[in-house]
């Protein structure tokens, strides 16, 4: 009996997705709840799991096709035996390899970006992903790469090189130069539309300031080891800037507001959207009730967002809402920028790289670690005076972190 595989509910207000990759081929055995396909929505990648054990039937849509919630995208020939056998065989393969022989990937592994399906295969077969050559797009590991490596490890033979993924068609040129044509992912298309919409709709303006990072850097140097020992997380800069932003938004509530029709919605809470780099583009998971969280909890949440962005496990709920955004271009070396707001939010704080510069302090020229700050805002509901005041509060709190403790 054939069982239909349908597109699951993708999240509030999201009705369609793009087929990213088929993880199972027709005729392959599948186990119940095993991922058979990945979908790309406007915000995240989602695995479609097998509703039953059996054998993979026909794939009714191709990679890159747009599908809607509830649509039938494949069939599975029902038969628990096939799926169960596959699972037991994999367990036998895993048991035959000493667990201490190969390190498993950790959430903090920055060297290899793994999709959820590939990560599961790596953990199941005890394969070190850094030793396997990926044949997917941009050299990424595919599930087939991991399975080939596991089979080679089992038999003691060199791992066969899987057939490389199809490459985009290149337009030939008489001069011997080529132009590669690659379709934008759904996430990239959504980012483009939202950013362009923000520019066309909002009255965008950016105000700048610079901040002396000496006090924060001294505090980190003094307490980072104790902080890490007690809270099991690194003390970074984001905790300071998040706390400073919360202080400013409480004093200047319009910067934490949003426009809805002819009404302004003021929030008595601060949900900070934190811009995080993911394999398929920039995502902005939300740090909820940031104004009520401790430094340690803020740092833990941000670290968790970064790890889950890399392995593709952020959910729709993680990125829903948000009243203010902080984007740190400094980690990529940016000296200054004019960030674009994330609608329907009305402001975004841009952080940049720290560099030693000559500044005048008490009439003397000294060298200090300085950072440029940028606050882009919607001038329709935020006046220049309010924006400048908010940025000045952030600057003063960073230069004198004691203000964060006594709410000044």
Q: Are 306 and 246 in contact (CB under 8 A)?
A: no
150 three-class SS = helix
Q: Domain check: are 376 and 325 in the same one?
A: yes
Question: Got the DSSP string for 314-356?
Answer: --TGGGS--SEEEEEGGGGT-S---PPP-TTB-EEEEE--EEE
Identify the helix (H) or strand (E) that includes residue 72.
Answer: strand 72-78
Q: Are 280 and 138 in contact (CB under 8 A)?
A: no
pLDDT digits (tens, 9 = 90+) for 222-255: 999 999 999 999 999 999 999 999 999 999 999 9
Residue 347 lies inside a defined structural domain of this protein: yes
Residue 168 lies inside a defined structural domain of this protein: no
Q: Domain check: are 93 and 212 in the same one?
A: no
Instruction: Give the CA dihedral 11, 12, 15, 21, nearest 10 degrees.
Output: -20
Q: Domain check: are 306 and 192 in the same one?
A: yes
Residue 123 lies inside a defined structural domain of this protein: yes
Q: Can you give the CATH number for the domain in which 286 is found?
A: 3.30.559.10
Residue 165 lies inside a defined structural domain of this protein: no
Closest CA to 43 of 143, 181, 193, 182: 193
Q: Domain check: are 248 and 129 in the same one?
A: no
Residue 273 lies inside a defined structural domain of this protein: yes
Q: Domain check: are 216 and 147 in the same one?
A: no
Please say which residue of 155, 176, 199 terminates a domain.
155
Residue 39 CA to residue 327 CA, distance in Å, equals 27
pLDDT at 235: 92
Is 50 exceeded by the pLDDT of residue 119? yes
Q: Can you give the CATH number for the domain in which 83 is found?
A: 2.40.50.100
Give me the mean pLDDT over the 103-132 stretch: 61
Is 70 exceeded by the pLDDT of residue 114? no
Identify the helix (H) or strand (E) that includes residue 189.
Answer: helix 186-201
Please say which residue of 155, 177, 204 terminates a domain.
155
Please say which residue of 133, 155, 177 terminates a domain.
155
CB-based contacts of 113: which residues, under 8 Å, 6+ apart? Answer: 140, 279, 310, 311
Question: What interhelical angle do 116-125 and 80-95 show, nearest 10?
Answer: 60
pLDDT digits (tens, 9 = 90+) for 163-221: 555 555 555 655 678 898 888 777 778 778 888 888 888 999 999 999 999 999 999 99
Higher pLDDT, 265 or 108: 265
Structure tokens at 109: 């592994």
Residue 169 lies inside a defined structural domain of this protein: no
pLDDT at 207: 97
Q: Are 351 and 330 in contact (CB under 8 A)?
A: yes
pLDDT at 183: 80
Domain that holds residue 49: 2-155
243 three-class SS = helix
Q: Domain check: are 240 and 97 in the same one?
A: no
Q: Domain check: are 146 and 228 in the same one?
A: no
Q: Domain check: are 95 and 140 in the same one?
A: yes
Is 60 exceeded by the pLDDT of residue 279? yes
Residue 109 lies inside a defined structural domain of this protein: yes
Q: Which amino acids are annotated catalytic?
A: 379, 383
Residue 163 lies inside a defined structural domain of this protein: no
Q: Domain check: are 106 and 211 in the same one?
A: no
Q: How many domains does the chain have?
A: 2
Q: Domain check: are 381 and 310 in the same one?
A: yes
Q: Domain check: are 207 and 285 in the same one?
A: yes
Higher pLDDT, 33 or 273: 273
Give me the mean pLDDT over the 297-318 stretch: 88
Q: Domain check: are 224 and 119 in the same one?
A: no
pLDDT at 94: 39
């Amino acid at each position: 009996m054939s069982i239909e595989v349908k597109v699951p509910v993708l999240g509030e207000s999201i009705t369609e997705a793009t087929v990213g990759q088929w993880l199972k081929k027709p005729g392959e055995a599948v186990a119940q709840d095993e991922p058979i396909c990945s979908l790309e929505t406007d915000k995240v990648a989602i695995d479609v799991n097998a509703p039953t054990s059996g054998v993979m039937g026909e794939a009714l849509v191709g990679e890159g096709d747009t599908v809607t919630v509830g649509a039938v995208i494949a069939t599975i020939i029902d038969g628990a035996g096939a799926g169960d056998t596959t699972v037991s065989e994999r367990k036998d393969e895993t048991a035959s390899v000493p667990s201490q022989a190969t390190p498993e990937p950790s959430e903090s592994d920055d060297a290899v970006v793994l999709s959820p399906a590939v990560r599961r295969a790596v953990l199941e077969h005890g394969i070190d992903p850094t030793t396997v050559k990926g044949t997917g797009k941009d050299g990424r590991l595919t599930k087939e790469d991991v399975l080939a490596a596991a089979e080679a490890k089992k038999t003691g033979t060199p791992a066969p090189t899987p057939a490389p993924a199809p490459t985009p068609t290149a337009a030939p040129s008489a001069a011997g130069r080529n132009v590669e044509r690659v379709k934008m992912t759904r996430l990239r298309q959504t980012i483009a539309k939202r950013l362009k919409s923000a520019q066309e709709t909002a009255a965008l303006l950016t105000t700048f300031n610079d901040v002396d990072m000496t006090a924060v850097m001294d505090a980190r140097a003094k307490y980072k080891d104790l902080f890490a020992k007690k809270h099991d997380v690194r003390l970074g800069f984001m905790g300071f800037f998040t706390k400073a932003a919360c202080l400013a938004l409480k004093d200047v509530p319009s910067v934490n507001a949003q426009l809805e029709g002819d009404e302004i919605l003021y929030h008595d809470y601060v949900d900070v959207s934190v811009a995080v780099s993911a394999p398929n583009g920039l995502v902005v998971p939300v740090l909820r009730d940031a104004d009520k969280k401790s430094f340690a909890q803020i740092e833990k949440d941000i670290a968790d967002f970064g790890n889950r962005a890399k392995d593709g496990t952020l959910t729709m709920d993680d990125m829903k809402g948000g009243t203010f955004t902080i984007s740190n271009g400094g980690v990529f070396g940016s000296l200054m920028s004019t960030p674009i707001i994330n609608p329907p939010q009305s402001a975004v704080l841009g952080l940049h790289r720290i560099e030693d510069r000559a500044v005048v302090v008490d009439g003397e020229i000294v060298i200090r670690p300085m950072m440029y700050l940028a606050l882009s805002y919607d001038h329709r509901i935020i006046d220049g005076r309010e924006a400048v005041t908010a940025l000045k509060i952030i600057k003063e709190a960073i230069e004198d972190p004691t203000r964060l403790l006594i709410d000044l």
